[in-house]
Amino acid sequence: MHLPDGFLDARTTVASATAAAAGVAIALRQVRTTLEPHRLPMLGLAAAFVFAAQMLNFPVAGGTSGHLVGGVLTAILLGPSAAVLVMTCVLIVQCFMFADGGVLALGANVFNMGVVNVCAGYAVFALLRSFTRMEQRRSMVFAAAFAAWFGTVLGSILCAGELALSGTAPWPLAFPAMANVHMVIGIGEGLATGLIMLVVMRNRPELLDAREHGARASLSFIGYGLLTCAGLAVFVAPFACGWPDGLEKVSQLLGFERQGANAVTAPFADYCLPWIGSTTAATAIAGLIGTLLAFAAAYLLARVLVPALRAPRKDAASGN
C-alpha cells in the first residue's frame, strides 16, 4: 500500500498531507499530555519492533509470503495515539532509508496506514471488546484479529480513492482491485495480530495494562473519528455515491487546481467493467459478505486458540 511519488496529483497530495498532519498533531498533543516519561523510549523501540516485524515473512499458500504491517497491533499494545506516532516514524524511515513510499506521497501514506488504519482498527477493537461477552483473552484475540483485518481493508479503500481522485487509476477498477486484494492480505494480518496478542498476553499480560485511558483519550477519539470520516468523505464518497466533489470546489476556491485533473477524471465517470454490471455495487455486496466471513473467521480463531491456552503448550513459550 506504499504509494510512490508521481501517482497523486497536487490537490490529492495537499489534501491527504493536511489530513495526516492533523492526525499526527492530535496524536502528539495526546502523547505529550498523557504519556509518562518512562514510556517515552518505548515509542522508539516499538517503531523499531514494527519495522523488524515487517521484515519477517509469514508463509502464504503457493510459496508466496506476506508480512505484518502492524498498525492495529501497535494500537492495541500501546494505545492509538502512540501507535499513530510509531507508524508515522516507521513510514518516515521507510521513505528516507529505503525509498519505500514517496516523499510527497508521505502525507497520503501516513494518513492511510498511520492514521486511518490505526484509529479505525482500534475503534473496531474497542467496540468489539465492549460488546462481546466472552472470556477476556478470547475476546481480545477475536477483537484484535477482526480489527486488524478491518483496518487493512479500510486503508486500502482510501488508497484506491486517492488514486482515483488523482486520475491515475479509474475508481471502478481501482476500488475492487485494492479492496479485494487487501481483503485477502488482511486475513494474514488478522491471523498474525491475533497470534502475537496471544503470545504477549500469555507471557507478559501486565504490558497491556499500561495503555492510555481517561477522559482526555475520548476527546482525541472524537478527533480521530472526525478525521477518518472527513477522509472517507473526501477520497471515497465522490465515487461511491455520486456526491459532488467537495475537494474540487475547495481547490477552485484556493486556486491550486490543475488543468489536467478534470480532463483526466471525466472519461472514467460513467465507466463500467463490461463483464460485471455495476462494479461498485457488486464490490459492496462482496465486501459485505467478506466482512461477515472475516468476522466469523476471527471468532473461530479465538475459539480455536484460546482453549488451547488452558493446557500449557511448550513449543510457543519462549524464543530461545
Partner 1 sequence: MQLPATERRTGASVSRTPPSIKLGTALALVLFICLLPRRLTATYGIVAGILLFLWPLCRMPFLFALRRLLVMEFFIAGVALLSLLTPSATPVVLAALAKSNLCVFTMLLLIWTTPFHDILGQLRKLRMPTVMLTTLALMYRFLPVLLEESRRMQRARASRTFSRRRRLAWDNLAAILGQLFIRSAERAERIYLAMCARGWK
Q: Is 256 in the site for partner 1 (CB under 8 A)?
A: no
Kindly tell me which residue out of 260, 262, 276, 293 binds partner 1, with binding defined by CB under 8 A: 260
Q: How far is the CB of 41 from partner 1 (least distance, A)?
A: 4
Residue placing its CB nearer to partner 1 in the complex, 103 or 300: 103
Over the window 81 to 110, marking each residue x when it contacts partner 1 by CB under 8 A and - when it does not, the resulting string is ----xx-xxx-xx-xxxxxx-xxx------
57 phi and psi, to 5 degrees?
Answer: -95, 130
Q: Is 295 in the site for partner 1 (CB under 8 A)?
A: no
Residue 240 contacts by C-beta under 8 Å, 6 or more apart in sequence? 280
Residue 143 contacts by C-beta under 8 Å, 6 or more apart in sequence? 124, 125, 126, 128, 129, 132, 298
Q: How far is the CB of 86 from partner 1 (least distance, A)?
A: 7
Cα radius of gyration rounded to whole Å, the chain: 20
Kindly tell me which residue out of 15, 17, 20, 47 binds partner 1, with binding defined by CB under 8 A: 47
Residue 67 β-bridge partners: 57
Give the footprint of partner 1 on residues 298-317 (CB under 8 A).
Answer: 315-317
Residue placing its CB nearer to partner 1 in the complex, 98 or 243: 98
Residue placing its CB nearer to partner 1 in the complex, 52 or 219: 52
b (16+ CB within 10 A) / e for 119-142: bbbbbbbbebbeeeebeebbbbbb
Query: Which among 30, 78, 9, 36 is positioned nearest to 264, based on CA atoms?
Result: 9
Q: Is 6 in the site for partner 1 (CB under 8 A)?
A: yes
Max CA-CA distance within the chain? 66
Give the footprint of partner 1 on residues 151-180 (CB under 8 A).
Answer: 163, 167-170, 173-174, 177
Give the footprint of partner 1 on residues 267-286 (CB under 8 A).
Answer: 267-268, 271
Residue placing its CB nearer to partner 1 in the complex, 151 or 170: 170
Give the footprint of partner 1 on residues 9-28 (CB under 8 A).
Answer: 10, 13, 24, 28
Over the window 107 to 146, marking each residue x when it contacts partner 1 by CB under 8 A and - when it does not, the resulting string is ----------------------------------------
Residue placing its CB nearer to partner 1 in the complex, 127 or 258: 258
Residue placing its CB nearer to partner 1 in the complex, 40 or 229: 40
Q: How far is the CB of 290 from partner 1 (least distance, A)?
A: 20
Distances (CA, A) of 107 to 14, 22, 54, 114, 150: 8, 10, 20, 10, 21
Give the footprint of partner 1 on residues 207-226 (CB under 8 A).
Answer: 207
Q: How far is the CB of 225 from partner 1 (least distance, A)?
A: 23
- Cell matching residue 166: 488523482
Give the footprint of partner 1 on residues 190-209 (CB under 8 A).
Answer: 191-192, 195-200, 203-204, 207
Q: How far is the CB of 314 from partner 1 (least distance, A)?
A: 11
Residue placing its CB nearer to partner 1 in the complex, 250 or 264: 264
